[in-house]
Amino acid sequence: MASTSFNLKGNVFGGMTAAVIALPLALAFGVASGLGPTAGLYGAIILGFVASLFGGTPTQISGPTGPMTVVIAAAVVTLHHDLNLLAATIFLAGVFQIAFGFARIGQFVRFVPYPVISGFMSGIGVIIILIQINPFLGQASDASVLHTLASLPDTIITTNLSAFALASLALIVVLFTPAQVSKWVPSPLLALALLTPLSMALNLPVDTIGSIPSQFPDITLPTFTLDSFGVVIPLAFTLAVLGTIDTLLTSIVADSITQTRHNPNKELFAQGLGNALCAFVGAIPGAGATMRTVINIKSGGSNNISGMLHAVVLLLIVLFFTPLAAEIPLAVLAGILIKVGLDIIDYRFLEVWKESPRHDLLIMISVFLVTVFIDLISAVMLGIVLASLSIVYRITQATQIHLVGDDNPDNPIDLADKKARIIKIEGAFFFGSSSAFESRVNAALDIETMIIDISSVPFLDITAIFTLKDLLANINRAHINVYIVAKKEHQEQLLKVNVARFFNSDNFCTTLKEAIKKL
């Protein structure tokens, strides 16, 4: 009984602490998205509750995050603030995530190379920082990084000094609040609690959040036309992929702290359901939030009760305390979000960039630049392609092809007398090494018998199989006898695709000695 009571107490404290952290961030992300603070709050409430209720990571806290907000802000501009199209985009993103869960795609996220994740996360951190420059200086926010940078000289000239002072103070508070204090009062909440009354008392001429409806939001029906289909689908898919990566990376972090193992596909189903429901109330979608999840765990949260409670506490704040939130200066939220952006940047990779392999550094920089200046989904795709090409190159370089002829003193037999050669491949036999293997064989057709030894090959892909077929065709035309030394499973694999009858079971051997006896 004592253990149950302790768990309940820990989950209650963890959920309430996570709610306190989530409040200013939900407001800030809602404003940054272009849909307003209410959209951020209800995104945290709906997704936070549904993902905790049905999810596969018991300690995870879900809600609006920086990466998702960046895409939503771009979608708001692209769709010209059409709420029905935005709702359709968010709904379809949720449906995609549910489909990812049923397709069991979740477990593949852990195979995304670290340089891709590093460049992606650092790029998102920089985007958040850059798009907060305008509100930090007291100007209207701009979702375009390039436009923000291009108009920076004019923005600096028209700086609202009151807003700049508040934003600077907020940034100082969130950066330098002692750990002993932030343990009890999170630094973002402390910044709001100190600077909002200060702004009100001095009657500073700064923009504030403004009125927040304290009643439940109106229902928004997701609708789109065939003309908008080509725009909505890519945005929805981007949100789904981004939310998937963001969530499952957070799940991995939670696993490492709690020494548990999450269910990635169940988590994707829950995230997709929560985000799909967000669409009907005009809320912004989200994902698993790393900082809030870690704080929940450190505060005692151990199961899904803490996540659901965090959502309930946020709902009570919306229903009963919105007049206070309405006075929060946008500049203060900008200061808080710049700290969020700084936290997202991957300093672990930056600390070792000089010592890191050149190809990994190239991948990281490429993904970073594409993330910041083009778009997020292109960055991830580019990173995966570059990483794949890099690993193919390294595997190919590690593959050894040996041609054993009469000039080799280590011959198992006198190959010159037998007019035979042995060609052996050690390493991966796949599309990356097939061309080199084919060239070596074709250069050694001045014999009567050839033994192709692929017994050390761990796997064969279809390119390797077709390469063998082409080689056998050349060897047959040269009237050369051939024996293939291969594992039983590789022999069966070759015979299964033996459409043109190139492979004959009589020519297969399981060991090199067996092949040599046939000479």
Domain-by-domain residue ranges, the chain? 2-390, 400-517
- Residue 501: pLDDT band (50, 70, 90) is low
- pLDDT confidence of residue 72: 92
Mean pLDDT of 224-233: 82
pLDDT-derived band of residue 381, with 50, 70 and 90 as boundaries?
confident
Class of domain 400-517: alpha beta
Question: What pLDDT band is residue 417 in, cutting at 50, 70 and 90?
Answer: low
On the question of pLDDT at 99 being above 90, the answer is yes
Q: Can you spell out the DSSP letters for 234-251?
A: HHHHHHHHHHHHHHHHHH
Which of 21-25, 121-125, 150-154, 211-215 reaches the highest mean pLDDT? 150-154
The SS3 of residue 332 is helix
> Residue 262: is its pLDDT beyond 80?
yes
Query: Which range is least confidently modeled, 50-59, 144-153, 275-284?
Result: 144-153
pTM to 2 decimal places: 0.71
Scanning the structure block, which residue is given the tokens 């549904």?
50
Q: Is the dihedral of CA 467, 469, 470, 471 positive or negative?
A: positive
Of 35-44, 239-248, 362-371, 379-388, minimum mean pLDDT range: 379-388
**What is residue 243's predicted lDDT score, i.e. its pLDDT?**
92
Mean pLDDT of 490-518: 78
d(CA 118, CA 366): 11
Residue 516 above 50 pLDDT?
yes
Work out the percent of the chain whose per-residue pLDDT is above 70.
93
What is the per-residue pLDDT for 416? 56
Residue 408 C-alpha from the chain's centroid:
51
Read off the DSSP letter of residue 306: H
Q: 47: closest CA among 65, 32, 34?
A: 65
Q: Assess whether pLDDT exceeds 60 at residue 76.
A: yes
In this predicted structure, the answer to whether residue 410 has a pLDDT above a threshold of 60 is no
